[in-house]
Amino acid sequence: MKKKLFAIGNPIMMDDGIGIAVAKEIRDWLVQRKVEIIIGETDMDYCMSFIEYNDFILILDATYLNNQPGCVTTCPILELNDEYKSGYSQHEMSLLKGLTMYGKKVNGYFIGIEIDSIQFGCELSHVLCIQFHSICEKVKAEIQKILDE
């Protein structure tokens, strides 16, 4: 079983790219734990080309669930409820639909990072910038808990 992290988002829409920014920042930490990193951005087909039978996947993406900006939430992919499905994050839903459509049998977790602002721009919002180190640490802690299960 291979472990893969898919960083999803649009890096030219400010906080929508938070998953990608965090994945790049913690890349070495992930590699040490034998987690392959795929920067999928918004391309579901590209992501799907990396998913093999029985892979364990982590989807790292921006969310808009009315939590505090920078809040990190985690949910097993198989247990995603309507709150996640009706929240902002549509990228992982496309990836999840792709898993079903392509008949890919995988287990894993969705890790969401609450956004502050989605607008055109290549930088994160000021709110997420000042929390960036803390967000990375929270994501690492969540991933470590998942890997330790």
Which residue range(s) make up the domain with 57?
3-148
Residue 66: give its domain's CATH number.
3.40.50.1450
Which stretch of DSSP H or E encloses residue 8? Answer: strand 3-8
Determine the pLDDT at residue 27: 98
DSSP per residue over 111-139, as a string? EEEE-S--SSBSS--HHHHHHHHHHHHHH
pLDDT values of the chain reduced to their tens digit, one per residue, 149 residues: 899 999 999 999 999 999 999 999 999 999 999 999 999 998 888 999 999 888 999 999 999 999 999 999 999 988 875 445 444 444 445 777 777 777 777 799 999 999 999 999 999 999 999 999 999 999 999 999 999 98
Domain count for the chain = 1
**Token match 């929508």: residue?**
16
Whole-prediction pTM: 0.89
Cβ neighbors of 130 (< 8 A, separation 6 or more) are none
